[in-house]
Homo-oligomer: A and B are copies of this chain.
Amino acid sequence: MFSIGELSKRTGVKIPTIRYYEQMGLIDAPERSEGNQRRYSKEGPQRLSFIRHSRELGFTIEDIKGLLELSQHPDKPCQDADKIAVQRLSDVRARIAKLRRLERELKRITACQADNVASCAVIESLADHGLCDAEH
């Protein structure tokens, strides 16, 4: 049995965020002390770490709800979980591709040698999308 502050320290999830997750239904409302303070058992950190890790990987709250639901039913086929992860993977790849294009353009832009804004590549490039290498 430990407090929310303790749970926060163990998992690296901030206190208001823990309460937020509780409100969003990601974690069950824990028991309370006499004085109405949250008291977590040892399952607390596990579930919260799962959530934290998933969030770091970019899963949405809704995704995580689905994954948690699944993990409560160990006999279900894991295709659903896989589907969510595959979707995430393709999101991530798309974002990487897009950022690479941006990187290329920003690199070009920042190679600016002009002395003043009138002929500055940064401003010019932003004004004229037609100069871009790629679409975005």
Chain B nearest CB from A14 CB (Å) reads: 17
Q: Are A117 and B70 in contact (CB under 8 A)?
A: yes
**Bound form: Cα–Cα A106–B132 in Å:** 31
Candidates B46, B75, B88; contact of A127 at CB < 8 Å = B46
Q: Are B126 and A53 in contact (CB under 8 A)?
A: yes
**Bound form: Cα–Cα A84–B112 in Å:** 12
Chain A, interface residues (CB within 8 Å), range: 35 or more
Which stretch in A2-10, A23-31, A33-41, A94-102 binds the other chain? A94-102
Q: Are A75 and B118 in contact (CB under 8 A)?
A: yes
Q: Are B103 and A71 in contact (CB under 8 A)?
A: no
**Bound form: Cα–Cα A58–B109 in Å:** 14
